Amino acid sequence: MSSRTTTSLYHMIWAHYRLPFLKVILLNLVNAAVSVGIIAYINHTFISQPVFDTLSLLSLGYFAALITLLLITTFLSQYALTRLGHQFVYELRTKLVKQIIDTKVPQIDHLGSARLIASLSSDIQSITTAFVRMPELVQGVILSAGVALYLGWLSLPLLFIIMFWIVMTIWISTILVKHVYTHLIELRAINDFLYQDYQSIIEGRKELALNQYRAEKLYSDDFLSHAKSYQQTVIKSDTFHLSAVNWSNIMMFASIGVVFAVSNYLNIPMGVATTFSLTILFMQSPILHAVGAYPTLQTAQVALDKIQSLELADYQAEFMTDHVAKDWQSISLTDVGYRYGGINTQTQEIAVDANNPADDILKSVNLTVRRGDVVFLIGANGSGKSTLAKIITGIFTPTTGSVQVDQDNIDSENNADYRQLFSAIFSDQHLFKQLIGNQGNQPDEALISDWLQKLNLQDKVSVSDHQLSTDKLSQGQRKRLAMLLSVAEQKDILLLDEWAADQDPAFRRVFYQTLIPELKALGKTLFIISHDDSYFEHADRLLLMKEGRLIELNAEERQRASTDAIAMLQ
C-alpha cells in the first residue's frame, strides 16, 4: 500500500515532468519578454511621439511584427503547457486504473464502487480542469515578473508603491481564496455521498419501483439533503471566489489612480505614469485570470489528496510474473483464521480488531486439497463458506495461519501467481463477454463449442472472435455462461460457490451427474459449495463448515448428511 502522506500537485509535476515543465517556463519567459518588449515599444515609439503623423510606416511594421511574435509565443507556451497537463492527466488516469486492478479485493470492497467511480470521474475531471487553467496562472506569474522588471527600470519608487498595492491586494484575495479551499474539501466529501446516492438509485431501481415509500425516503432524506448541502457549500465557495476576483479587479483598477497621484507627488514624468497605467491595464486580465485559475488548482489538490487517500496498491506497469506452480500436488491451509476488518472512523482505513477473537469468521481451519479431488463444502448460511473460498483462492489473506502449495508458503510475494491456479464463479460473479484461453492465449474453439452444447446454450449464444454474442440471459443461463468462460480458461482448479442454486432441477442433475465427471476428466480439481444434499454422493470428499470451523465428514456422517442435511447443519 502506498503511504498515507499526500503529495502536492506541484511537487508531483516537478518530480515527474521537470524537463517539459522547464521548457514550458522557458517558452513563457520568451512570451513575457515579447509582451514587455511591446509595452516598451509602445512607450518609446507611440507615447513619446508628440503627434501621430510623425510615426513612420516602418515603426507600424515593427509593431505588427511584434504583435505577430506575441501571438506565436503565446500560442506555443499555452500549447506546451496544455500538452504537458493532458499528459499528466493521462498518466494519472491510466496509473489509477492499474492500481485499482492491483489493489487487494478487501480494500476495494471497503472503498466501494461509488467512491472509486467518484475518483475516476470527478477527481480526474478536477485535475484536468486545473491543467486547462494552469497556463493562465503560469503566464500571469511570469508575465508579472517580466513586466515588473521593465517598470522598475522606468521608475523604481513608483514600482515599489504599486508592488506594495498589488501585493496587499493579492494577500487579501488569498485570505478569501483560503475559504474557497475549505469549502472545496467539504464539496468533495459531499460528492462521495452523492455518488453513493446515484449508485443506490441505479442499482436499486427494481426495489424502488416496487416501493414508492422507499423511493421517496431515499430521494428526500438522502439525495435531496446531499444535493442541498452541495448547493449551499458551492454557493459559499463561489461567493468567496467571486469576492476574491472582484476585490483584485477593483483594486487593480484603483491602482491607476494611485499611479497618477504618486507620480504627481514624486514629480515622475507623465509619460512614465501613462506607461505604468497602460501596463496595469494590460496586466489586469492575466492577473485576474491567474487569481481565477488558483481555485481550480486547489480543487485539483483536493482531488489528488482524495485519490491518494484511497490507499491503492503502489503502481507497477507489469501485470504479473509467470511462476505459476503448474505441477502442484496439494494445497494446504494450516490453522487458518479470518476476521473481516472494521472501518477505523478516524483514519477511514480497514482495521482488524485483534482483541476480539469472537469476531473470527474462520477459526483454526486445517485442510489439504489434493490434485484431482472433488470436494464439496456444505454449511449453514453465514457459517463462513464463501469466506473460506476467498481464502483458498488467495483473494483474501488469512488473518492467522498460512496457506501452502506443496511445501511453499503463500505470501505477498507469490500470492498473485498463486491466484492464477484458479477459476471461480462466486455468487455475485461478473460476466465478461470475452473468452480467454489458457494463460491468456486464444481459447480452444473445439472446447468452447463442445461446452456450449454441454451447457445447453447453443441456441442462445454464439461465440464469434472469442466474444459472446450476448449476455442478456436468465440468471441460470448467465451462470452457465460463466462456467463456459471458466472452462475456456483451462485452469487447474475450479471453485463454484453455490453455482447450481440458480439451475432448474433438470439441469442441476446434469451438472452433478454429467458435468462434474466431465470436469474431472479434464483434470480439474473441483471445490464446490453446495446445499444440494441429494447429490452429495458425487463428491470425493464432503466438508462441513460450522460457525467458522471446518470438519471433514467420514462415511457414516456423509450418509447422515445426505439423508438429513438439516440436522447435520445445526
Ligand X SMILES: Nc1ncnc2c1ncn2[C@@H]1O[C@H](COP(=O)(O)OP(=O)(O)OP(=O)(O)O)[C@@H](O)[C@H]1O
Residue 402 burial (10 A CB sphere; 0-12, 13-18, 19+): middle
Least CB distance to ligand X at residue 542 (A): 15
Q: Which positions from 441 through 500 interact with ligand X, judged by CB under 6 A?
A: none
Least CB distance to ligand X at residue 569 (A): 10
By CB under 6 A, tell whether 386 contacts ligand X: yes
Which position among 241, 385, 454, 479 is part of the footprint of ligand X (CB under 6 A)? 385
71 vs 352, beta carbon nearer ligand X: 352
82 vs 107, beta carbon nearer ligand X: 107
Residues 290-329, mask of contacts with ligand X (x by CB under 6 A):
----------------------------------------
Distance CA 530, CA 377 (A): 6
Query: Total number of residues binding ligand X (CB under 6 A)?
Result: 11
111 vs 194, beta carbon nearer ligand X: 111
Contact 568, 560 (CB under 8 A): yes
258 vs 388, beta carbon nearer ligand X: 388
Distance CA 34, CA 528 (A): 75
Residues 6+ apart with CB under 8 A from 540: 373, 374, 375
Which position among 28, 35, 73, 383 is part of the footprint of ligand X (CB under 6 A)? 383
Least CB distance to ligand X at residue 378 (A): 9
The C-alpha cell at 279 is 501596463
The C-alpha cell at 354 is 485483534
By CB under 6 A, tell whether 146 contacts ligand X: no
By CB under 6 A, tell whether 357 contacts ligand X: no
By CB under 6 A, tell whether 393 contacts ligand X: no
Contact 350, 508 (CB under 8 A): no
Which position among 269, 357, 382, 505 is part of the footprint of ligand X (CB under 6 A)? 382
Amino acid identity, position 466: H
Q: Which positions from 95 through 134 interact with ligand X, judged by CB under 6 A?
A: 109
376 forms beta bridges with 528, 542
Contact 118, 191 (CB under 8 A): yes
Residue that is written with C-alpha cell 477459476 in the block? 423
Q: Kindly report the length of the chain.
A: 570
Backbone angles phi, psi at 98, to 5 degrees: -65, -40
Distance CA 94, CA 101 (A): 11
For residue 273, give the H/E element and its range. helix 270-309
> How many angstroms separate the Cα of 402 from the Cα of each of 17, 329, 330, 372?
43, 17, 14, 22
Contact 28, 138 (CB under 8 A): yes
By CB under 6 A, tell whether 397 contacts ligand X: no
User: Could you tell me which of 480, 482, 475 has the C-alpha nearest to residue 510?
Assistant: 480
In Å, how far from its chain's centre is CA 66?
46
Look at strands 422-425 and 400-405 and give their pairing: unpaired
269 vs 357, beta carbon nearer ligand X: 357
451 forms beta bridges with none
Least CB distance to ligand X at residue 508 (A): 17
Least CB distance to ligand X at residue 386 (A): 3
15 vs 358, beta carbon nearer ligand X: 358
419 vs 546, beta carbon nearer ligand X: 546
Least CB distance to ligand X at residue 360 (A): 10
420 vs 530, beta carbon nearer ligand X: 530
> Segment near ligand X (CB under 6 A), from 120-128, 253-261, 380-388, 557-565?
380-388
Which position among 355, 381, 412, 441 is part of the footprint of ligand X (CB under 6 A)? 381
Least CB distance to ligand X at residue 383 (A): 4
80 CB neighbour count, 10 Å cutoff: 19
Distance CA 360, CA 338 (A): 6
279 vs 530, beta carbon nearer ligand X: 530
> Segment near ligand X (CB under 6 A), from 34-42, 202-210, 308-316, 378-386?
378-386
131 vs 499, beta carbon nearer ligand X: 499
Our separate counts of H helices and E strands in the chain read 18, 14
> Segment near ligand X (CB under 6 A), from 130-138, 285-293, 381-389, 439-447?
381-389
For residue 302, give the H/E element and its range. helix 270-309
By CB under 6 A, tell whether 361 contacts ligand X: yes
Three-class DSSP category at 414: coil
For residue 367, give the H/E element and its range. strand 362-370
Which position among 85, 140, 384, 394 is part of the footprint of ligand X (CB under 6 A)? 384
> Segment near ligand X (CB under 6 A), from 216-224, 383-391, 432-440, 483-491?
383-391
Q: What's the 3-state SS for 226-250?
A: HHHHHHHHHHHHHHHHHHHHHHHHH
Least CB distance to ligand X at residue 545 (A): 6
109 vs 192, beta carbon nearer ligand X: 109
Which position among 199, 340, 415, 447 is part of the footprint of ligand X (CB under 6 A)? 340
By CB under 6 A, tell whether 379 contacts ligand X: yes
379 vs 398, beta carbon nearer ligand X: 379
159 vs 361, beta carbon nearer ligand X: 361
255 CB neighbour count, 10 Å cutoff: 21
Residues that bind ligand X (CB under 6 A): 109, 340, 361, 379, 381-387
